[in-house]
Amino acid sequence: MLKWLFFALIVRPTILLIFGVHVRGREHLSHDKPCIIVANHNSHLDTLVLMSLFPLRKIHRIRPVAAADYFMKNRLIAWFSTQFIGIIPLSRKVERSHTHPLESVRQALEAGDSIILFPEGSRGEAEQMSKFKSGVAHLAKMAPHISVVPIYLGGAGKVLPKGEALLVPFIIDVHINEPMMIGEEDTQAFTERLEEVIKKAGERDV
């Protein structure tokens, strides 16, 4: 409920009216089937922009995967992250444990939720893409019937780059690409293919 109100009253009006989003390839995004959304990452806004692509009644089914060391840092941030955004916390450190680190994400997918993942692992420098990590491919192997939707985001890094608190309006570009399935492909090749698709979508943009 908090999440719904937050998106209905604050996030969507701000993103759509103050910044403006230009979406291409909306037909590639299914609202009914769960999917893994993968995008390049430059700004905290990225998650909010991606979540705003879905209708409000679906918003509780969209779960961004976020770094536990940052978004669960203290109780206040953790409360906000889980109640308002509905993140699935993921540890960026390698831990010895009995369960697979992506197990909670897989469970969410099984339950019919859609997942947002940023394979760069961090926001990095504004408007620059760093190398993708292979977590998405591993997740796709664990849930092979679920499609991966690669999305290129441009401009959000100008609106709110890492380390800045001042929002400055620019139009945000969202380029949704054709969904991909991993099938028999190995994780390394799939990761490279994914990175290539998103990079290409960004180049066509300029």
Residue ranges binding other proteins (CB under 8 A): 19-20, 22, 126, 155, 158, 161, 164, 166, 168-171, 206
> Cβ 1 to other proteins, closest distance in Å?
33
Pick 5 or 171: Cβ nearer other proteins: 171
> Which residues lie below 8 Å from residue 97, measured CB to CB, with a gap of 6+?
none
- Residue 22 or 100: the one with the smaller Cβ distance to other proteins is 22
Q: Is the CB of 117 or the CB of 151 nearer to other proteins?
A: 151
Residue 20 C-beta: closest distance to other proteins, Å: 7
Q: How many CA atoms lie within 13 A of 132 on its CB side?
A: 25
77, 189 contact by CB (below 8 A): no
Min. distance of Cβ 54 from other proteins in angstroms?
A: 21
State how far Cα 37 lies from the chain centre: 6
Quote the CA–CA distance of 130 and 41 in Å, as a whole number: 9
- Shortest distance, position 111 Cβ to other proteins, whole Å: 36
The CB density around residue 67, as the number of other CB atoms within 10 Å, is: 17
